[in-house]
Amino acid sequence: MYDDASASTADLQPGEEERTAFRKAEKVYKLYKTIQSKNSSSRRRQKRDALALKTDLTQVIDFAAILNDFHVCGELPPGIVRFHSPGVTDPIFCFRDKPGFFFIPRALNVEEQCQLLRESLASFPEPPNRTNHTAIYGPLVGLLDAARKNKLLGKFEFDNLQSNSHSFVGEDDRDGQFCKIIAPAVTLLRKLRWSTLGLQFDWSKRSYDISLPHREIPSVLCLLAKKLAVPAMPLGEEFSPEAAIVNYFGPSDMLGGHLDDMEADWSKPIVSISLGCKAIFLLGGKTRDDPPLAMFLRSGDVVLMAGEARQCFHGVPRIFCDDENADCSALVSHLTGEEDIVLREYIQNSRVNINIRQVF
Ligand code: OGA
Ligand code: MN
């Protein structure tokens, strides 16, 4: 039923045949932007271009629909099998040809999604955890709280001595030469791209730096990951979460094809949780030349990559933030409190992915 994604790239432009199968699939699914113009003739052209660029989603595997059909008639599409895990009643799906890959549709209920989203923006980016902002601004404290209160973030500067370690949150608190305003907290929140929990990952060295100060993975997340990992663990062994990378995606962000090969022990799974707007996930093979499978990831879905699948290229070429496709209204309508206004605004245009790893 599901062909590989390269099937949609039948009419290739000159030179494109040199691209890898993975790159071709990314090109099929990525978001194409048309240049905005007030000029009517080019608006016509835009409309034409937009039609031409409309993504063909017919080959994208939709586990929500598969789960629904499975509940109704008990059947699964060819190549997809149900995995039975002791004590788990909700279906877990696997591909017959991709050992080690598990898809758990709606693994998290809406309360759990809300709680994890809150922590992803409130406590996960807090020092000593590092984020993409750390190298530029130093440790930032209270980012979400400052965004809720519409505050500016600033940094103290003592005479000639610039102190990166004295980041603070202040209300337009421009105290002459001593304080330098960085940016509104909401802007920094929107520009958050990653944070790291547990053992800290050094992106420049592409390795874990165990000498960096860190806290253990929060216990709620640790327990959840242990429970979710069970289907992908050898019988009798327990998953031991040591590090997590939290990815924050805006509407036009994508995560290019990659392997997660920095952990010493590849026999242990990666537990990957999706929150917020729907995305397309590509699962390839051991080289970029293997055509990937494309599937939707929705808020509350969990993916496990273990065994052979742990060595497979994967990536996220597309996020859907439009009302019709984002498919996160359950989460959004659950964020009703005054405190959650910033979260609600944020998640309507974002996706958060938490992937939890055992490093050693
Ligand atoms: C990663 C990753 C997948 C996702 O961060 O290594 O593969 O669903 N994320 O965002
Ligand atoms: Mn990855």
Residue owning the nearest CA to atom 1 of ligand 1: 355
Closest CA to 95 of 228, 299, 260, 292: 292
Q: Which ligand is nearest to the CA of 310?
A: 2
Residue 260 Cα, ligand 2 centroid: separation in angstroms? 5
Please state, in angstroms and rounded to a whole number, the distance separating the CA atoms of residues 139 and 195.
12
For residue 182, what pLDDT is reported? 79
Residue owning the nearest CA to atom 7 of ligand 1: 315
106 vs 111, 263, 300, 317, CA distance in Å? 12, 27, 5, 21
SS3 119: helix
For residue 265, what pLDDT is reported? 80
CB atoms within 10 A of CB 354: 24
**Which atom of ligand 1 is least distant from the CA of 297?**
8
Residue 254 Cα, ligand 1 centroid: separation in angstroms? 10
Could you tell me where the beta strands, DSSP code E, fall in 109-218? 152-158, 161-170, 179-184, 194-198, 201-202, 207-208
Tokens of residue 347, six digits: 């998640």
Residue list, ligand 1 pocket, CB within 6 Å: 245, 247, 255, 260, 272, 274, 281, 297, 314, 316, 353, 355
Exposed / middle / buried, residue 104 (Cβ in 10 Å: 0-12, 13-18, 19+):
buried
SS3 196: strand
Strand partners, 281: 295
**Which atom of ligand 1 is least distant from the CA of 279?**
8
**Which atom of ligand 1 is least distant from the CA of 314?**
7
For residue 6, what pLDDT is reported? 37
For residue 247, what pLDDT is reported? 98
Exposed / middle / buried, residue 211 (Cβ in 10 Å: 0-12, 13-18, 19+):
exposed
**Which atom of ligand 1 is least distant from the CA of 303?**
8
Residue in 314, 319, 350, 354 to alter for ligand 1 test, most ligand atoms within 8 A of Cβ: 314
Residue 79 Cα, ligand 2 centroid: separation in angstroms? 23
Please state, in angstroms and rounded to a whole number, the distance separating the CA atoms of residues 60 and 94.
15
Residue owning the nearest CA to atom 6 of ligand 1: 260
**Which atom of ligand 1 is least distant from the CA of 249?**
10
Residue 308 Cα, ligand 2 centroid: separation in angstroms? 14
- At 268, the amino acid letter reads K
Residue in 203, 254, 255 to alter for ligand 1 test, most ligand atoms within 8 A of Cβ: 255
For residue 203, what pLDDT is reported? 84
The answer for 308, left when phi > 0, alpha when psi is -120 to 50, beta otherwise, is alpha
For residue 17, what pLDDT is reported? 56
Give the CA angle between residues 136, 138, 141 to the nearest 5°: 125
264 vs 218, 270, 360, CA distance in Å? 22, 13, 5
331 vs 15, 191, 213, 247, 263, CA distance in Å? 43, 22, 33, 18, 32
Across the chain, which has 360 residues, the per-10-residue mean pLDDT values are 37 62 96 67 64 84 98 97 91 97 98 98 97 90 93 67 46 50 90 97 89 95 97 93 97 95 87 98 97 98 96 97 94 95 97 96
For residue 137, what pLDDT is reported? 85
Residue owning the nearest CA to atom 8 of ligand 1: 353
For residue 5, what pLDDT is reported? 38
